[in-house]
Structure 1
Amino acid sequence: MALGGVVQHHQRHAWVRLTHLKRHALAPCDRDRWTRPQRRCYSRLAFKQTRQATLVKPREFRISLQASRQLSQGFHQWLAGIRVLDLSQYIPGPLASLLLADMGAEVIKIEPPAGDPMITLGPRSRSGEGLFHQTLNAGKRIVRIDLKRADGQARLLEMAREADVLIEGFRPGVMDRLGLATSRLRAEAPRLIICSISGYGASGESLQKAGHDANYLAEAGVLHRNGSTDPQYFDPPIADVSGSLFAAMAILGALQGRARSGQGCIIDLGLADVIMPLQLLQVADYGENGTDPERRSTYLNGGAAYYQIYRTRDHGHLTVGAVEPKFWRRFSDAAGHPEWIDRQSEPLPQHQLTADVAAVIGSWSLDECLARFADDECCVSPVLNLGDALQTSRLRSRKLVVKGADGRLQALFPAWIDGGPPVPRAAASASESR
């Protein structure tokens, strides 16, 4: 069988095989409609239109036979048969559904008639379109529906009955005003998993408050202790991206839970809340010892000489992460200053030791530093810009940032499965209006 036939064969019969998996953890909600073989689903045109989100074209990506088998049986088919409706906008929800699409879920991105506001934010692609919007929605089918109209709401309810997961990112109460309250969705689709992502969660005193990543980090105590003199923002946005990861994780767990209970659930995730589990160690220390870290006071935020960023003579920057004593010993010996070894145990913040190391590092160029600390056991790295980072041989060897069929760079799911990297994503489908 030709390569294209292999992929089409596996994709086509994935749905038929679901008839034998009625108790499978990831079987779709409306089993009768989804598992009954329907001729219209297997016409070439209909198949291309309905499954464009997860269909990878062999000629387009020039994948090998082995890669096609991975596509059919491995990482990219873990969620085959799962349909996700994504009503969210900007970064958190769309990134969560992108991760689900990477694992084989069919994602239908529901946008208002004017499109996701992300279309107008950020840089443009060569074709003049919003690059961030295209990146976040790769491999998805985009459908534009006016949810403020009764016919649009009816259409969404119809789609929800056939879906497994619904992601929305409105402020609490908006879905109710649209006539799409969770109670109604659950009544129409009891097995539907609803993931609501909002700024501050659906309960508590701040549920209607507007906010972005900077607000969540500021209110969680993170900005206060980071930066050299004044608090500093982070790029990429920690709360937004972490919220995406927690949302995807919760959805995967809910799918497994549904396999046992037969019922969907409602996931209420606040982006301001995801910061706390990220700093669970600091929270534990505060609870036990009352430690409230300031800037440059802990080993994680610049208070330790052995976990520090140093400037070189030629204005480059070198980061040292020699936390364990054995690594600090190798670093100190390579620097020609074995007297530093025992000083690692000095109390934090280690301002004097940091100044001593900085004076030595500052007398060398970046290249001289890299040559001196070439030993892998020194835990030393140059501080690269993004362009330089993308050119490193290490990153290239992992094949996790590659060009897609449209020639654009894609940062893929960061894991090899069964000895192989993930394949590039398909482009988002053209927008449909309903």
Structure 2
Amino acid sequence: MLKDALKGMRVVDMGQYIPGPFATLLLIDLGAEVVKVEPPGGDPMRVFGPLDPDGISPLYKVLNAGKTVVIADLKSETGKEQLSRLIRKSHILVESFRPGVLERLGFGPAALDVINKTLTHVMLSGFGQTGPWRLKAGHDLTYLALTGSLAMQGTEETPVMPFPPAADHAGALMAVIAVLSGLLRRLRTGRGAHLDVSLHESAQALNGLGLALAERGADTGRCRDLLNGGAAYYGIYRTKDGGFLAFAPIEPKFWAAFCGAVKRPDLLHRQADPMPQAALKAELGNLFSTKSRDEWGVILEAVDCCVEPVLDPREVPGLPQVRDRGLLPLGRSGVIDPLLPILLEGTPPMPRAAMRQSELEDVIATWSQRD
């Protein structure tokens, strides 16, 4: 089982909103035990978006499935003392305080080295622990704006914000890589690590292709390049019923299969039209507007040409492929529980336990008994 990978590893999660909690959620699927430490007011994600009848957001439940949640007032000496004992018993700390905040509370890197010299400590922040923007406030959309990627996506008239939040999730994935790297480093050297991960730079790393194109002087405007709307054969088209198709027959064999399926051999040579392919896009738009999304699905499903319906999220859990792979179960907290998408020898990760609330002293006592 994948849970053998980090079995016995104890994680303190001091993140909020999406990045830190999503990172530690994935560590659960690798076998780690996660205790989420929240301030007296709780993680703001508890009341973010629509609320369930119990007053808690389903978004919070998804991000914190399988965790034990405790409350600690780090402005009090009692809270600081409790956190210190918890960290002493842990292997991994993931936190998302603004640079300098944890240090002012008495838990900066030097203090953590005294508490637990083998700790793998991941510091998630907007812009990193150094540099002129280290204390600059931001959110997912503003991080993306500063990477150049937002300018490249959307329509000719305006950039379009992505969902799910790309920088938040990129940062979470980089944090998981940082945790695993830190643990391997400790295995080789016996030392802990303080790892600086920024949401801005995580999103920036994902825009390596766009930055490379810009550096070479390519036109990186929206709807100019093959991958951002310039090509008629790689785009999104509206159908007769107001639905949409994701259209991606990039390879000539897929384009030929599409032209044959819709009985339009006259379009075969048009794939080579110069960019941006506005005229061909208009022609395909007229074609797709003649039938509904599902009618096109019936026609194109019979051929292998990389065209799929743009699904509503409510349609996803019932897909045969999704059901067969078993990675999107209904969790024990009563919400969808997307598992780490890695199968070990054909077996998906085990479903996560439900999130539970506990007292910090009880967690410390339990961890102490295992030492």
User: Is the CA contact 2:37–2:69 (under 8 Å) kept in the aligned structure 1?
Assistant: yes
User: Is the CA contact 2:127–2:136 (under 8 Å) kept in the aligned structure 1?
Assistant: yes
Indicate the residue corresponding to 1:275 in structure 2: 203
Deviation (angstroms), 1:380: 0.8
Q: Does 1:243 align with 2:243?
A: no
Deviation (angstroms), 1:376: 4.4
Q: Is the radius of gyration larger for structure 1 or structure 2?
A: 1
Match of 1:157, SS state, is helix
Indicate the residue corresponding to 2:283 in structure 1: 356
Match of 2:323, SS state, is helix
2:187 pairs, out of 259, 270, 278, with 259
Give 1:133-282 correspondences, 5 Å limit. Answer: 133-228=60-155, 229-282=157-210
User: Is the CA contact 1:139–1:426 (under 8 Å) kept in the aligned structure 2?
Assistant: yes
Indicate the residue corresponding to 1:375 in structure 2: 302
Q: After TM superposition, what 4+ stretches of structure 1 lie above 6 angstroms from structure 2?
A: none
Letter in 1 for 2:44: P
Indicate the residue corresponding to 1:101 in structure 2: 28
Deviation (angstroms), 1:383: 1.0
Letter in 1 for 2:311: L
Match of 1:403, SS state, is coil
User: Is the CA contact 1:322–1:331 (under 8 Å) kept in the aligned structure 2?
Assistant: yes
Looking at structure 2, the residues matched to 407 and 97 of structure 1 have their Cα atoms a distance apart, in angstroms, of: 20
Indicate the residue corresponding to 1:50 in structure 2: none
Indicate the residue corresponding to 1:36 in structure 2: none
Q: Does 1:398 align with 2:325?
A: yes
User: Is the CA contact 2:29–2:340 (under 8 Å) kept in the aligned structure 1?
Assistant: yes
After superposition, what is the alpha-carbon deviation per residue over 1:169-221, rounded to whole angstroms, capped at 9, x for unaligned? 01001011101111110132111111000011111111111111011111111
Looking at structure 2, the residues matched to 213 and 104 of structure 1 have their Cα atoms a distance apart, in angstroms, of: 29
Indicate the residue corresponding to 1:66 in structure 2: none
Looking at structure 1, the residues matched to 169 and 339 of structure 2 have their Cα atoms a distance apart, in angstroms, of: 14
**Percent identity among equivalent residues?**
41
Query: CA 1:315–1:175 in 2, change beyond 3 Å: closer, same or farther?
Result: same
Indicate the residue corresponding to 1:323 in structure 2: 250
Specify every segment of 5 or more residues in structure 2 that has no aligned partner in the other structure, as ranges.
362-371
Indicate the residue corresponding to 2:19 in structure 1: 92
TM-score (structure 2 length as normaliser) = 0.93
Indicate the residue corresponding to 2:364 in structure 1: none
Looking at structure 2, the residues matched to 299 and 233 of structure 1 have their Cα atoms a distance apart, in angstroms, of: 19
Indicate the residue corresponding to 1:82 in structure 2: 9
Indicate the residue corresponding to 1:417 in structure 2: 344
Looking at structure 2, the residues matched to 120 and 405 of structure 1 have their Cα atoms a distance apart, in angstroms, of: 20
Structure with higher RCO (Cα < 8 A, 6+ apart): 2
Deviation (angstroms), 1:307: 0.6
Question: What is the root-mean-square deviation in Å for CA atoms of aligned residues?
Answer: 1.5
User: Is the CA contact 2:257–2:303 (under 8 Å) kept in the aligned structure 1?
Assistant: no
After superposition, what is the alpha-carbon deviation per residue over 1:245-292, rounded to whole angstroms, capped at 9, x for unaligned? 1100111121111100111111111101111221112222222x2225
Query: CA 1:374–1:95 in 2, change beyond 3 Å: closer, same or farther?
Result: same
Specify every segment of 5 or more residues in structure 1 that has no aligned partner in the other structure, as ranges.
1-73
Letter in 2 for 1:154: E
Looking at structure 2, the residues matched to 171 and 128 of structure 1 have their Cα atoms a distance apart, in angstroms, of: 28
Looking at structure 2, the residues matched to 109 and 415 of structure 1 have their Cα atoms a distance apart, in angstroms, of: 24
Looking at structure 2, the residues matched to 114 and 332 of structure 1 have their Cα atoms a distance apart, in angstroms, of: 59
Aligned length: 360
Match of 2:283, SS state, is helix
User: Is the CA contact 1:113–1:433 (under 8 Å) kept in the aligned structure 2?
Assistant: no
Indicate the residue corresponding to 1:23 in structure 2: none
Deviation (angstroms), 1:304: 0.7
User: Is the CA contact 2:140–2:167 (under 8 Å) kept in the aligned structure 1?
Assistant: yes
Letter in 1 for 2:104: R
Letter in 1 for 2:202: V
Looking at structure 2, the residues matched to 253 and 339 of structure 1 have their Cα atoms a distance apart, in angstroms, of: 54
TM-score (structure 1 length as normaliser) = 0.80
After superposition, what is the alpha-carbon deviation per residue over 1:326-357, rounded to whole angstroms, capped at 9, x for unaligned? 11111111121223222222222111111111
Looking at structure 2, the residues matched to 194 and 292 of structure 1 have their Cα atoms a distance apart, in angstroms, of: 41
Letter in 1 for 2:167: A
User: Is the CA contact 1:298–1:348 (under 8 Å) kept in the aligned structure 2?
Assistant: yes
After superposition, what is the alpha-carbon deviation per residue over 1:117-155, rounded to whole angstroms, capped at 9, x for unaligned? 211212222333232222211111112111112222222
